[in-house]
Amino acid sequence: MRKIAFLLYFSLVFQAAWPQSGTSYVVLVSFDGFRYDYVEKYDLENFNQLIIEGTAAEKMIPSFPSKTFPNHYSIVTGLYPGNHGLVDNTFYDSISNETYKISNRDMVRNSFYYGGMPLWQLVQENGMKSASYFWVGSETAVAGSYPDHFKYYDESVGDQERINAVINWLRLPEEDRPHFISLYFSFIDHVTHAHGPDAPESEKALRYADQLLGELKKQIESLDLPVTLIIVSDHGMYPMILDKEYYIDLSGIKDIAENQAKIVNNGSHMHIYCDGEVKQRILKQLENKEDHFRTYLRENTPDRWHYNGNYRIGDILLVAEPGFSFSFNPNDNKHYGAHGYDPYTTPEMGAIFYAWGPRIKKNKKIPAFENIHVYPLIAHILGIETPAIDGSVRVLQDIVVE
């Protein structure tokens, strides 16, 4: 009898901690490049209201490198870039003998480059529908299938049209209605790159984002559905000075590596793919020349990055000091804002995390956390278990109303 009572108690506790699947909905929204301090800096009305009615993190810590593609994909896989394989915006892959570029649509839509189990496919495996209005990885069948509803990326699509589509998906008949939806906006990143994070143009873009949030929240409130709204970004932005002294010229390395190594420059950091004698020559040239940058062998990168076990990471990795950028032609660099720097030592790389809805505790502030923990949070809200990932449900479980 005592054994039966114990099993019954355990069952009730487990059910309370892990809600039944199919009873909740989650809309995950990313404002690319939205820095952690913008809401306070610009006193954004709708963001402030959502914070009062929900949960807000001090900041969300991007994965290294703090670039758009690896971090958006970390958010929806719960894996560090070194583990999910999308290690940068641009990188060389020795198996395909190709350089992955986010501007190459064929590569972006090639599932070879994407590992892990994205949320939209995890949801499908648990008998629910999923949808994505633009998100890294959603345009290819990573784990064998596409989201039930998805759009190929087209930056010209209006922001209101994107919001309308999300609401229309939530108005579908129950059997067709997606329980997980991702939604992406790029304009903040574009404006803050072009003008810098402190420019009047950036403030205008952020106030527009605030209007969009207000509209989306209002539309969700009009639905008779238990929708959790989660607002994130992939990274912040660092103010840059457009002066040649802030550009690190490594053209000499390029000359040595000609036809003997692959160099992929991401501005804030540079991958050099090489081995043997060429590797030693490059390291010799870099010796005692670390002026505003650090040199790492792949296997010796900081443990906090979780960035040393993937063959797509350069054999040599050069990482610039914040405010500096690698360039073979400084005249080509026109950005007043940049990212990609070490998010653990560069506060300006901090991203946002805000959550709101009937399953989220109100007026709750939480400390900074890594973005890999968003995945298990969403899975928990939806009542499904996760595969083996880097993130843990324990980090954010306390913000959920069970």
CATH of the domain at 194: 3.40.720.10
Q: Specify whether 222 is located in the same domain as 370.
A: yes
Q: Specify whether 160 is located in the same domain as 137.
A: yes
Is 9 within a domain?
Answer: no
Per-residue pLDDT at 330: 64
**Does residue 79 have a pLDDT over 60?**
yes
Over range 195-216, report the average pLDDT: 98
Domain endpoint, select from 278, 311, 334: 334
Q: Are 311 and 113 in contact (CB under 8 A)?
A: no
pTM over 0.95: no
The residues that bridge with 364 in the sheet, in sequence order, are 55
pLDDT bin (cut points 50, 70, 90) of residue 69 is very high
Catalytic residue chosen out of the listed positions 68, 77, 90, 192: 68
Least confident residue range of 2-16, 80-94, 149-163, 342-356? 2-16
Q: Specify whether 257 is located in the same domain as 120.
A: no
Per-residue pLDDT at 95: 97
Give the percent of the chain with pLDDT over 70.
92
Q: Specify whether 297 is located in the same domain as 217.
A: no
Give one word for 272, left, alpha or beta, with left for phi > 0 and alpha for psi -120 to 50: beta
State the alpha helices, DSSP H only, in 171-287: 187-195, 200-221, 251-257, 276-286
Q: Specify whether 229 is located in the same domain as 356.
A: yes
Is 92 within a domain?
Answer: no
Is 339 within a domain?
Answer: no
Q: Specify whether 165 is located in the same domain as 60.
A: yes
Over range 228-243, report the average pLDDT: 95
Q: Specify whether 105 is located in the same domain as 172.
A: yes
Q: Specify whether 223 is located in the same domain as 259.
A: no
Per-residue pLDDT at 7: 36
pLDDT bin (cut points 50, 70, 90) of residue 333 is low
The structural domain count of the chain equals: 2
More confident residue, 144 or 136: 136
Q: Are 268 and 325 in contact (CB under 8 A)?
A: yes
Q: How many CA atoms lie within 13 A of 232 on its CB side?
A: 31
Q: Are 235 and 71 in contact (CB under 8 A)?
A: yes
Q: Encoding tokens for residue 9? A: 């108690």
Per-residue pLDDT at 260: 84
**Is residue 77 among the annotated active site residues?**
no
Is 11 within a domain?
Answer: no
Helix, strand, coil shares of the chain, percent, nearest 5, are 40, 20, 40
Is 277 within a domain?
Answer: yes
Per-residue pLDDT at 253: 74
**Does residue 8 have a pLDDT over 60?**
no
Over range 67-73, report the average pLDDT: 98
**Does residue 15 have a pLDDT over 60?**
no
Q: Specify whether 211 is located in the same domain as 73.
A: yes
Q: Which amino acid is at 339?
A: H
Across all residues in the chain, what is the average pLDDT? 92
Give the percent of the chain with pLDDT over 90.
83
Q: Specify whether 115 is located in the same domain as 166.
A: yes
Is 341 within a domain?
Answer: no
Over range 56-76, report the average pLDDT: 98
More confident residue, 245 or 58: 58
Q: Specify whether 152 is located in the same domain as 258.
A: no
Residues in the chain: 402
Per-residue pLDDT at 17: 43
DSSP secondary structure, 282-318, as one string? HHHHHTT--SSEEEEEGGGS-GGGT-SS-TTS-SEEE
Is 83 within a domain?
Answer: yes
pLDDT digits (tens, 9 = 90+) for 375-399: 999 999 999 999 999 999 999 999 9
Is 207 within a domain?
Answer: yes
Domain endpoint, select from 334, 369, 384: 334
Q: What is the spatial distance between Cα 23 and Cα 127, in angstroms, rounded to a whole number?
A: 12
Per-residue pLDDT at 22: 66
Domain range for residue 358?
22-87+101-238+349-399
Q: Specify whether 320 is located in the same domain as 382.
A: no
Domain endpoint, select from 281, 302, 334: 334
Over range 208-227, report the average pLDDT: 97
CATH number of domain containing 310: 3.30.1360.180
